[in-house]
Structures are given as structure tokens and as C-alpha cells.
Amino acid sequence: MRARVYLFATIIGFFVPPILIGYYVADQGFDLVDLLNAAVDNTIALAVFMDVTLSSLVFWFWASGEARQHDIRQWWWIIPANIFIGLCFALPLFLYWRERALESAPAG
């Protein structure tokens, strides 16, 4: 059951950030510098940006250890998934992989 919830969250997390960035680009045009400036434009935006950045770094560190413990070989895919799509995609994706590994592990 948990794996299904994580998979559903992964699917939602895959679509939401690109759609929102697409709306921004459609309205403002594509300018990478402008896009990055918007992420730190004010104190609230900077706080959210730093929160997601630090959370991502901690997640990568945690995931690497969990991957070793549960033999999740493709774990490193979460890093580009996190960078190019977002934490809301990478985190549930890894949790889905972890849940599947736990389900297939021998009982004991």
C-alpha cells in the first residue's frame, strides 16, 4: 500500500514543477538568469530556495546510506531527478524504490 502512495506522489511530483516552470516561461520568456533571480528575489523566495536546497543535500546523504543498506543500485538517479525536476519527484521516487526493496527482502 505504501509503495502505491509513493508511486502516486512520484507521478504528481514529476508533472507539477515542469508545469509551473512552463507557466512562468510562457509568461516571462526563457531567461535562465531571470529564472534563478526569481528564486531568490525576496526573503521568502530565498528562504524556500534554501530550505529545498539544504533538504535536498541531506536527502542525498541519507539516500546513499539507505541505498547501500537495502541494495538499491539505481539510487544515484535521484540526484539529477532532484536537480532537473525537483525534490517533490526525487524523494517519493527513492521512497518507492526503498519500499519495493523492503517488500522483496527476505523476512527475518
Question: What angle (nearest 5°) sits at the alpha carbon of residue 13, between those of residues 7 and 14?
Answer: 90
Q: What is the pLDDT of residue 106?
A: 79
Q: Distance from CA of residue 105 to its chain's centroid?
A: 25
pTM for the full predicted model: 0.89
For the stretch 62-79, pLDDT in tens is 999 999 999 999 999 999
CB atoms within 10 A of CB 30: 10
d(CA 75, CA 79): 8
| pLDDT value at 16 more than 90 | yes
Instruction: Name the residue ranges covered by the structural domains of the chain.
Output: 2-104
End-to-end CA separation in angstroms for the chain: 21
pLDDT over 70, % of the chain:
99
In terms of Cα–Cα distance, which of 94, 97, 101, 89 is closest to 10? Answer: 89
